[in-house]
Structure 1
């Protein structure tokens, strides 16, 4: 068997990064080589898993700790916008994100041609929301991985990406698309000029990436997919059923109180942990109940005191090892949290703040796998009612068990690796 080289280029966030690590590990188990193209701040993440990693500048070069601080400050500066409806985040958070994303594509174009020429990949997999022309033009099959919500691939019958709207809210869909296109218009025009300068045709307004003509891998689980006006062609679009990564084992510690009570896991991700006021409110609520809770507070552990005896906080948890052991999860709607809860059959209360968390929150409620909750406009009684429903709703439990069984039977990482190897061998 001829060894092939597979390059992975995830965006600089732990969700996409670790999903690609899982797929890359499965590729190497088949005797091939996996390498990473990486934001400089994530190079050590991939090296820590034993992979070769090549830094690609996605912004003005700065030390990794300064870059991490930049994104932390970016998120924390937008905490007031977390209170807004998704459509009202377009002209602040969403706009600034797209400005940064377009800038990242311009920076990447300086490094990518030389790096690709050196590593000579047989297949390149990109988990991002924007086109990098050098990857499309390198001359080997390229794969788009969609680790965010499935509606990143648009369709007229489903809610627009980032909208958090119900499937049936057609007037809302139209209003969201109109405002998105109006606000994003100048950024999109600038991106199209960049595409044309690099030999690519301009994209329609609102579009920053295209589906790969070779293969597109969606992490979304089939039991919660949208019903589209134009179904996705299975020859080019494959669902990976969550593609849940492995992590180190976790033993639930002893609690000072309620040690036999239902166990919750509360996490808003590494960036969402900056919303300490909300986490403190949830911790105080749990302290008055029969529950126990493990709470991920990120890098803000020193800002917490007077922790109730039925709550344990930490800066990080091996989430895929924790979720199977809990009774319900409260999270922000990040795609890893969304799919891991479904994979392990755990009900979730999603309190979204930005990006596709809004879509996942609506989807978990629409499909009967949990609840969407406003992030701030709730009473203790309303939150406890949702938690109790998660613990006692037998129809929801049956639905989650069926979804979990379906996902666990698929083995998304191995499926992805086989599809990539088949693509490389077919192109040889």
Structure 2
């Protein structure tokens, strides 16, 4: 009989994007702290991310194999080529950015099926945790318990009373819900038929139109915290769905540098993520605006530092920041609405101005404003006076500060990574 107390092997297979990847790192750190072994299955371009945190990582091709630097350039070019579409509404992004993304995601499932069965057989994990928006049949067919992690907005698990995923609709705007769902299904229909044909080839049943994944019969972990949850018509049963109340990873300490101007004034952190940093003109505009305000700012410019000239004396840029360690020390954040940035701001009680451009950033921007934790601001249609007013409100509005204090206290008491690790250990 197997020893229930013996160390287990927990495999993590996140989407090849920093949001899901770093969320899984946080859970994996907690799994190892409990005495188990965490290993990562990864697109080759992300192997070094996990190895950099000290984890074993195994390649699974999610596209035609190419050198890591070429893969990074591919996604950078993909995002930068869609910058004109970032000006469009979520509805008007469906037949360009969203369709192109889903095409790549479906291709990733086909490619993964070539490598994944053999990799799983070699690792022999006790539990597999997958953070993605599409089914990988090999995981479902592995014979092991599998956990679905939802690191994007919780509306990835649908309900008729809440906004559809990616829509940016308000919770009560049901006309918006209906219009977005109908257009999404219309645009995605031919691709969905191709995916169902792939599922049939793999011995799996087809999904209803618009659905590319299912809830795990074992456990599903959602990052969304209680204070921003949607009111569902059909509440999620806790024996299969658990909210982690955020899931903030441990990062290296960060020492705030000195500034040539405004030393001691409120500190603002600006980040649109590694891919959103390609929107250089927008970041330059924000830098110019913040440069005139009585604040200091740290700005994440990704791989584009060479495109910035002389900076205001109260602004410093870098190509990367240990984000949780930075957000813990700042006074307000301007970001793109990625779910790690969204939940980290809530976890540390920091007000946010979200300028969304794609994917669940639209949902999180709407949600941060309608729950009173910050503001949604159009990515391009704003004035310096708009930005200044919203930053001042972030720093001085007592209702926002009180709301954030309560949310932060709740989330930090929950300890999401530890909660996730305990649930996964129970399945193993």
Runs of 4+ in 1 over 6 A off after TM superposition: none
Does 1:209 find its partner at 2:213?
yes
Aligned to 1:325: 329
Aligned to 1:134: 138
1:49 Cα offset (Å)? 2.1
Q: Distance in 2 between matches of 1:44 and 1:296?
A: 21
1:39 Cα offset (Å)? 0.5
1:135 Cα offset (Å)? 0.4
1:107 Cα offset (Å)? 0.3
Aligned to 1:418: 422
Aligned to 1:367, which of 360, 366, 371? 371
Q: Distance in 1 between matches of 2:391 and 2:53?
A: 37
Q: Distance in 2 between matches of 1:51 and 1:321?
A: 20
For 1:102-126, what per-residue CA distance to the aligned partner results, in whole angstroms no more than 9, with x for missing partners? 0000000000111111111111000
Secondary structure in structure 1 of the residue aligned to 2:250: coil
Aligned to 2:65, which of 34, 43, 61? 61
Q: Distance in 1 between matches of 2:142 and 2:197?
A: 20
Aligned to 1:403, which of 407, 417, 420? 407
Matches for 1:162-173 after TM superposition, within 5 Å: 162-173=166-177
Secondary structure in structure 2 of the residue aligned to 1:329: strand
Aligned to 2:159, which of 155, 162, 183? 155
Does 1:281 find its partner at 2:271?
no
Aligned to 1:43, which of 43, 47, 51? 47
Q: Distance in 2 between matches of 1:316 and 1:32?
A: 30
Q: Distance in 1 between matches of 2:405 and 2:31?
A: 29
Does 1:237 find its partner at 2:226?
no
1:50 Cα offset (Å)? 2.1
Aligned to 1:22, which of 2, 21, 26? 26
Does 1:255 find its partner at 2:279?
no
Identify which range, 196-205 or 47-56, moves more after superposition: 47-56
Secondary structure in structure 1 of the residue aligned to 2:61: coil
For 1:238-285, what per-residue CA distance to the aligned partner results, in whole angstroms no more than 9, with x for missing partners? 111111011111111111111122111111000000000100001000
Secondary structure in structure 2 of the residue aligned to 1:305: coil
Normalised to the residue count of structure 1, the TM-score between the two structures is: 0.98
Q: Distance in 2 between matches of 1:41 and 1:139?
A: 28
For 1:160-212, what per-residue CA distance to the aligned partner results, in whole angstroms no more than 9, with x for missing partners? 00000101111111100010000000000000000011000000000000000
For 1:86-109, what per-residue CA distance to the aligned partner results, in whole angstroms no more than 9, with x for missing partners? 000000000000000000000000
Aligned to 2:272: 268
1:352 Cα offset (Å)? 0.2
Unaligned runs of 5+ in 2: none
Aligned to 2:88: 84
Q: Distance in 1 between matches of 2:317 and 2:142?
A: 47
Aligned to 1:177, which of 181, 190, 196? 181
1:3 Cα offset (Å)? 2.1
For 1:316-362, what per-residue CA distance to the aligned partner results, in whole angstroms no more than 9, with x for missing partners? 11110111111110000000100000000000000000000000000
Secondary structure in structure 1 of the residue aligned to 2:236: coil
Does 1:6 find its partner at 2:10?
yes
1:35 Cα offset (Å)? 1.1
CA RMSD between the two structures? 0.7
Matches for 1:178-197 after TM superposition, within 5 Å: 178-197=182-201
1:159 Cα offset (Å)? 0.4
Q: Distance in 2 between matches of 1:419 and 1:64?
A: 34
Aligned to 1:34: 38
Identify which range, 227-236 or 255-264, moves more after superposition: 255-264
Secondary structure in structure 1 of the residue aligned to 2:7: coil
